[in-house]
Structure 1
Amino acid sequence: MGMQLDLPTILLLYKTALVAGALSIFHVSRHSCRPQGLKPLAAAYLLLAVGAELAGQGEYSMLPLWFWSHTSLLLGALGYTLFWAGARALSGRRRVPPAVLILVPGGWLVLGLVTQFPLDNLLRAGAFHLTAAVSLTAAAWEVWRDRRTEPLPSRPLLAGLLLASAGTFALQLLYIATHTASPQGFALAFSVQMFCHFGVALMVSSLSNERAEVRLEKVAQTDTLTGVGNRRWVMSMLPARLPVGSAIAQLDLDHFKHINDRFGHAAGDRVLVATADALRHQLRDSDLLARMGGEEFLVYLPDASASAASAIAQRLCGAVQQIRLSELGEDIPVTVSIGLACVTSAGGTWADWLAAADRALYDAKRAGRNRVVTTHERTA
């Protein structure tokens, strides 16, 4: 004889899982660096739990039929619509307007009051399952569609759980439509939903933690003043041996100490920010830009011939010279000296070529500043 699932017990566990999921997601929202969508998801879990409790009380005739049938459907439909809205916000998209949120549950409520269809268990269950299947499918798509822009490990797992939950509701809807639904079928479906909803809450928490880790890593590798990479970041990004056909440049702002002494350190910070912006706008997406400390920057140009690298370096020098800043009505002169090392022969580490660029930078300073000096010889 096969194992029999007790529907009241399964429903009790289902409601418990929903409340636990709501509390878990709400707790995560209080400590998350990006809490968008978490509170709507927690509210959706609570609405579903309340709706399930009303339905359970109603089945035991502890509430008026007209009250619990209409209200449980309204809360269930609102809960899963809010589920979709929460997943959309969690994934980084714009929030759903409240008018859109109440459209589906409001439509079921109006239709139910007019036709009284929620008084029929199968019709009410069909409306609930249809809403849940569509909302969860939409939620899974919202999570899955941003897998390339935010490739976090928990994202596909979260999308998969949402889709599994939607599929379970869709399958049960088919049984309802063909009049083959049974208490055992409902018990099994709610068992699967309990697992999926618990898993969704777990993956939401995991996704938030992964975002926090990425944020901390980005902070550790980003210069806080200019927003470009820092020394630690660029050293981790450079290949051990620079390939032939690439170039590395050392940049140093001219007379930066004089700017700080004459105009103040706040003005010096403005110069650094403006310089980083000017450099960034002249570089390709594949190029690396980092602030090495003080007034020094580093640029790595992959896939750049000597002539192309020289042209880019000249553009960088010209872009910095075009910076227009003033302090108390006096213009702040901003120029940069650049030492460029073009990798034209194999061999040598990035440190060797960086030393060659540094030597070229010294020559640019000695030659009068505000210029580019290029070398094709690495430091042994």
Structure 2
Amino acid sequence: MRSDRTLIGKAYVASEAIALRRRFLMTIISFGLAWGAVMQVPAMLGIAPLGAAQTRNNLLFLILSAGVLAMLWRWPRSFGVGAVAYFTAAFVYVSAAQFLVVEDQLRMLLYFPLIGAVFLIVGNVGAWFTILAAIAVFVTARLMGLIPVSPLAVSTFVFTLGVTGAFFEAFSRQMTRTLDTIARQNEALEAAAKKDHLTHLLNLRAFRESMQAHVDGLRPDSRFSVAFIDVDHFKAINDRHGHAVGDAMLVALADTLKGAVRKRDEVARIGGEEFAVLLPGADLAEAAVIAERMRAAVAATRVEAGGTTLGGTVSIGLAAYDSSFDTIDALLHAADAAMYEAKKGGRNRVALAGPAAISPTA
């Protein structure tokens, strides 16, 4: 079960990371649309010297950006496709500017925010590929005489681009380690919140969540039962021997119940001396066999505590889930009511929800 929780925790963190990157991408696109719109108006009026080709590129990029933004808003799961489409278009747009907007001597700086965004949203591999491609475009434009800068300026640009990539790489790795640490901490906190501090069994919250998960995932031929268990005369044990002895007995009974059920069954402590067991795949008849095994195992258990040897018994009520139960609480109530029938019948026995009851064989 720990490995399952680990996988669930990592999946949760991964989904949260994707959601964060999607929101970040939507923010980048929104700012890009605003900037592109500001550039488009003066370009169309002939005020900004973008040229006809780059003005057309700007308009196409605005249209594609708006489409990707709408897609991410309407279909969040399309994040991967949207990110690749947007950054491919952005790279083509910035690279075209290196050849078409010769009046802008600092246009190569547009690669820096683009590469930073690719690092944070797409990942390291895609970002380093973008860096190499940007260097290739820049050098090609320089050799064609479209970027009239000195060889020193070329080396400075290439070096700075590489250093930027290295910084973002380090940041990305640190962010990944931080997210992993958060995932482990969240897993530990979640596990602690779902465990009974004394017996280390599931607590009521975790038990109810597990029941609900079974209800939500039921197939037409699926079934499960619930056992509600109460320790007989437990108050008398506490009053006579003290709470420390009572706690020792509860721990011993928890171990006994875990040893008497199947591997897939889930045992919980849901109250002071009350336990519950989820029995997946078991109807009432099968659950009764398991419950009788639990009852007999507890009756045979002896606890050494405070210089005293103690034994105890339990009363068990069983209920099987079906469509007549509106909620899991109704199912628990039915098992609880059956447990009280076992109490009325003399304790140390198993009773089914309904008129029938199973007498102990001990």
What is the TM-score when the length of structure 2 is the normalising length?
0.52
What SS does the corresponding residue of 2:7 show, helix, strand or coil? coil
2:332 aligned residue: 354
CA distance 1:332–1:303, shift in 2 (3 Å): same
Shift of 1:322: 2.9
2:7 to 127, 135, 148: 148
Q: How does 1:197-346 map to 2 (within 5 A)?
A: 197-239=170-212, 245-343=223-321, 346=324
Checking the alignment, whether the CA contact within 8 Å between 2:245 and 2:306 is kept in structure 1 is no
**Within 5 Å, which residues of 2 pair with 1:1-380?**
148=7, 151-154=10-13, 164=124, 188-239=161-212, 245-343=223-321, 346-376=324-354
Q: Tell me by how many angstroms 1:155 deviates.
A: 6.5
The Cα shift of 1:227 comes to 0.9
Q: Give the number of the structure with larger relative contact order, counting CA–CA contacts within 8 Å between residues 6 or more apart.
A: 1
- Asked if the contact 1:241–1:349 (Cα under 8 Å) also holds between the matched residues in 2, the reply is no
Q: Secondary structure at the match of 1:233?
A: helix
For 2:180 and 2:350, locate their aligned partners in 1 and report how far apart those are by CA, in whole Å: 46
Alignment-mate amino acid for residue 245 of structure 2: A
Change (3 A) 1:188 1:303: same
Are the equivalent residues in 1 in contact too, given 2:317–2:337 (CA < 8 A)? yes
How many Å separate the matches in 2 of 1:347 and 1:149? 29
Equivalent AA in structure 2 for residue 194 of structure 1: F
Q: Is the 8 A contact 2:300 2:311 kept in 1?
A: no
SS in 1 for 2:317: strand
The alpha-carbon deviation at position 215 of structure 1 amounts to: 2.4
String of CA shifts for 1:173-218, please: whole Å, max 9, x gaps.
xxxxxxxxx9676654443222111111122223222332332232
* CA distance in structure 1 between the aligned counterparts of 2:206 and 2:331, rounded to whole angstroms: 18
Whole-angstrom CA distance in 2 between matches of 1:322 and 1:149: 38
Q: How far does residue 222 in structure 1 lie from its aligned partner after superposition?
A: 1.6
Deviation at 1:346, TM superposition (A): 4.3
Q: 1:190 to 1:154 in 2, by over 3 A?
A: farther
The whole-number CA distance in structure 1 between the counterparts of 2:294 and 2:239 is 25
Root-mean-square deviation (CA), in Å?
3.8
SS of residue matched to 2:281: coil
Distance 1:269 1:328 in 2: 11
Summarize the Cα distance change of 1:344–1:208 in structure 2 as closer, same or farther, 3 Å threshold: closer
Q: Which runs of 5+ in 2 are unaligned?
A: 18-118, 133-153, 357-362
Distance 2:173 2:213 in 1: 42
Equivalents in 2 of 1:152, 1:370: separation in Å?
A: 44
Larger radius of gyration: 2
Q: Identity of counterpart residues, as a percentage?
A: 37
> Number of matched residues?
222
How far apart are 1:232 and its partner, in Å?
2.0
The separation in 2 between residues aligned to 1:324 and 1:311, in whole angstroms, is 22
* Cα pair 1:356 1:377 within 8 Å, conserved: no
Counterpart-to-counterpart distance in 2, 1:348 and 1:292: 21
**TM-score when normalising by structure 1:** 0.49
Q: Distance in 2 between matches of 1:239 and 1:328?
A: 40
Is contact 2:284–2:318 with CA below 8 Å preserved after alignment?
no
User: For the Cα contact (< 8 Å) 1:241–1:347, is it kept in 2?
Assistant: no
Deviates more, 1:243-252 or 1:333-342: 243-252
Distance 1:187 1:225 in 2: 59
Given residue 276 of structure 1, which amino acid in structure 2 is its aligned partner?
Answer: A
